[in-house]
Amino acid sequence: MSLTPGGPVAEDVRRRILSMLALGTLRPGSRLGTEREMAANFAVSRSTLRSALLPLSQAGVLERRSGRNGGTFVRADVVERNAAELAGLPDRLRTGGHTSATRVLTTDRRPATPVEAHALEIADGAEIFTIRRLRFADGVPLSVDLACFVTAHMEDLLEQPLGGSLYELVRVRYGLAPAATTETIEVVSASPREAQWLDIAHRRPLLAITRVTRDSSGRPFEYAYDLFRADRVRLTATSQGGVGAVQRSVCSA
């Protein structure tokens, strides 16, 4: 369920701030301004602005500082992480100086839902494998990931060790190397089960990242829905050749 305190105007402000983070307009440590300045910049009332900022502050994306040079800032206690790079999470965490661990929660072989079938470009009801895993960074829960793969591409997938990088596994065993990813990012609230897995309070903000990964032929082979603790992840971005690449940053705490 998406967080929408303050209604659609506040939601629009939240999305604009997240977009600024994704495009690199805002960086870790950036100052957004005082409440008065931000209300003027976004052309909203101060009460609407407060409703817009509250979930982002609760998520650990923004922080308020008092004093003469105070205001609202993008939190800076994070390690940069590129979300668009074609590598597994363990490798990315290790590169950033973090330890990583994975716990497999559930696996299944079942018919694809219409959403999954559309993303994977397969017939409705075609069989897929699903793998749900709890990921840790520095011993603290970071995300709950649900990955869906087409069974026709990898019949014995669930018989393989699933605690490491699934990208490395499918590359080595099935010759499927990720060549491109498309991600959609939104703020949602944690369900009771998700909160228990991630060791947070019910309805705390999460960053939900929906991903479709394609091989070199352009064929999708993975559809994923990852829920990251918003207090441990920040969005930044780089661009190259005019094409933006979204990044995630993982808190070192």
**248 belongs to a structural domain:** no
pLDDT at 224: 96
* 193 and 127 co-located in one domain: yes
In terms of pLDDT, which residue wins out, 239 or 100? 100
Average pLDDT, the chain: 83
pLDDT at 28: 66
* 48 and 106 co-located in one domain: no
**105 belongs to a structural domain:** yes
Contact 83, 246 (CB under 8 A): yes
pLDDT at 76: 57
CATH number for 92? 3.40.1410.10
* 144 and 115 co-located in one domain: yes
pLDDT at 82: 56
In terms of pLDDT, which residue wins out, 1 or 127? 127
CATH number for 16? 1.10.10.10
* 92 and 172 co-located in one domain: yes
**247 belongs to a structural domain:** no
In terms of pLDDT, which residue wins out, 153 or 213? 213
The mean per-residue pLDDT over the stretch 171-198 comes to 92
* 193 and 87 co-located in one domain: yes
Residue 28 sits in which domain range? 8-74
Does 250 have pLDDT greater than 70?
no
pLDDT at 236: 60
In terms of pLDDT, which residue wins out, 233 or 172? 172
* 98 and 160 co-located in one domain: yes
* 190 and 99 co-located in one domain: yes
Number of domains within the chain: 2
Cα torsion for 63, 65, 71, 75, to the nearest 10°?
Answer: -30
**245 belongs to a structural domain:** no
pLDDT at 50: 92
Structure tokens at 132: 């749900």
Band the pLDDT of 179: cuts 50, 70, 90: very high
Dist CA 192 CA 55 (whole Å): 18
* 92 and 57 co-located in one domain: no
Dist CA 206 CA 198 (whole Å): 10
The 10s digit of each residue's pLDDT in 165-176 is 999 999 999 999
The 10s digit of each residue's pLDDT in 8-65 is 899 899 888 888 876 767 776 788 989 999 999 999 999 999 999 988 887 777 888 8
* 196 and 209 co-located in one domain: yes
Does 248 have pLDDT greater than 90?
no
Q: Which has the closest alpha carbon to 102: 197, 177, 194, 204?
A: 197
Does 2 have pLDDT greater than 90?
no
Q: Please report, as a single letter, which amino acid is at residue 34.
A: T
In Å, how far from its chain's centre is CA 79?
15
Lowest model confidence (mean pLDDT) among 32-46, 145-159, 202-216, 232-246: 232-246
Look-up of token digits 């998700």: 194
Q: Which residues fall within 8 angstroms of residue 165, CB to CB, at 6 or more apart?
A: 87, 88, 89, 90, 91
Does 198 have pLDDT greater than 50?
yes
Do the bridges between strand 100-111 and strand 78-81 make them parallel or antiparallel, or are there none, so unpaired? unpaired
